[in-house]
Amino acid sequence: MSNPSILILAGDGIGPEVMAEVKKIINWYGDKRSIKFDVSEDLVGGCAYDKHGTPLHDDTMAKAQEVDAVLLGAVGGPKYDDLDFSVKPERGLLRLRKEMDLYSNLRPAQCFDALADFSSLKRDVVAGLDIVIVRELTSGIYFGEPRGIITEGNERVGINTQRYTESEIARVARSAFELARRRNNKVCSMEKANVMESGILWRQVVTEIHQKEYSDVELSHMYADAGAMQLCRWPKQFDVIVTDNLFGDLLSDAAAMLTGSLGMLPSASLGAPMANGRPKALYEPVHGSAPDIAGQGKANPIACVLSFAMALRYSFDLGDEADRLEKAVEKVLADGVRTADLLGEEGVTPVSTSEMGDKIVEALDASLA
């Protein structure tokens, strides 16, 4: 049987730097655990535009459809700010999500004990936090038609459309309920049913799926604005949050800060099962391309490393190895190793991106002893 396949799309900004550390870890699994992957690499985002005039070449799109998992770094940067909307770096990422039909985006926000003091919130509010935001990723206002900037009379009008079909809501709701069953059996669904028809339908469909298929799971509903407030007030009341594409984008950035740094948060974007039974999948850190620190060795590779841990768990059925990698990260943090985004303690000098990767590899070695 051939090895499982991975397509690496490191992208722009700090993407290639953080991905270099993931490659060390992929090699470690090959050398030390005889878990080998067939790795290929390609371009996405601004770097793809520079080479091909498009943020995602059709050949790259076709490759992404074939592999067992795509690992993505980050896209975008100020150099591309003035490009036409249709070829902006972000369009490459959005095309991948849409054409691979990755409707369920899991964004765990976990606060490592060693980092509880880095959060802008008090230690007891965040210590031990472990929640997952399930964000609908292929529909809603990100993709709804009509959209565009038109002229009406003597002024311009910007238009986007929030649109959800019943089946789109049902499938992401199921994925949240399934996840909750493997965790603490609790889902909170967030929308704005008080002002949006799409929110009314969202609430109805989530409730129906719950009653028919998942009545063993505890379900609550919250307006998304109140949900944002509750996330900051007492985030540990949540376990799994399910929400739409735009609210999920906002709520997951807010949740990221509960954990101390945006440099810590991984994500998995999952679609329907492929022939081998595993979901179509793309893994990426929640953070962006951070052009202000790109190329300086300052970036925190942990979000990207933890995204690979999610790949081990969800695409390769290697839950024990995912645990091993997550524990290695936890150990390195407990030992006081910090990249520049995690400073604040006295007398701590930051390590570089690559030193952080080396420390994680050392901790993996130690896990075999």
Q: Which residues bind ligand IPM (CB under 6 A)?
A: 90, 93-94, 249
User: Which residue number has the CB closest to ligand IPM?
Assistant: 90
From the list Mg ion, ligand IPM, none, which binds 244 (C-beta under 5 to 8 Å, kind-based)? none
Q: How far apart are CA 61 and CA 66, in angstroms?
A: 9
Q: Which residue number, 280 or 331, has a Cβ lying nearer to ligand IPM?
A: 280
Encode burial over 228-261: b for 16+ CB neighbours within 10 A, e otherwise: bebbeeebeebbbbbbbbbbbbebbebbbbbbbb
CB of 327 to ligand IPM, least distance (A): 26
Q: Is 253 a catalytic residue?
A: yes
Q: Is 142 a catalytic residue?
A: yes
From the list ligand IPM, Mg ion, none, which binds 90 (C-beta under 5 to 8 Å, kind-based)? ligand IPM
Q: How far apart are CA 349 and CA 346, in angstroms?
A: 9
CB of 195 to ligand IPM, least distance (A): 22
Instruction: Return the DSSP state at 93.
Output: H
SS3 336: coil
Q: Which residue in 88, 192, 280, 359 is the catalytic one? A: 192
CB of 289 to ligand IPM, least distance (A): 8
Contacts of 262 (CB under 8 A, 6+ apart): 253, 256, 286, 287, 303, 341
Q: Which residue number, 101 or 208, has a Cβ lying nearer to ligand IPM?
A: 101
Q: Is 31 a catalytic residue?
A: no
Q: Which residue in 63, 186, 223, 225 is the catalytic one? A: 225
Q: Which residue number, 13 or 279, has a Cβ lying nearer to ligand IPM?
A: 13
Of the candidates 76, 98, 195, the residue with the CA atom closest to the CA atom of residue 144: 98
CB of 49 to ligand IPM, least distance (A): 15
CB of 252 to Mg ion, least distance (A): 6
From the list Mg ion, ligand IPM, none, which binds 93 (C-beta under 5 to 8 Å, kind-based)? ligand IPM
Q: How far apart are CA 151 and CA 358, in angstroms?
A: 55
Q: Which residue in 130, 253, 323, 358 is the catalytic one? A: 253
Q: How far apart are CA 263 and CA 91, in angstroms?
A: 23
Instruction: Return the DSSP state at 235.
Output: G
Instruction: Return the DSSP state at 156.
Output: E
- List the beta strands (DSSP E) in 192-275: 218-223, 240-243, 268-273
From the list Mg ion, ligand IPM, none, which binds 14 (C-beta under 5 to 8 Å, kind-based)? none
Q: Which residues bind Mg ion (CB under 5 A)?
A: 249
**Token output for 112:** 């490592």
**Token output for 293:** 């620190």
Q: Is 249 a catalytic residue?
A: yes
Q: Is 298 a catalytic residue?
A: no
Catalytic residues: 142, 192, 225, 249, 253
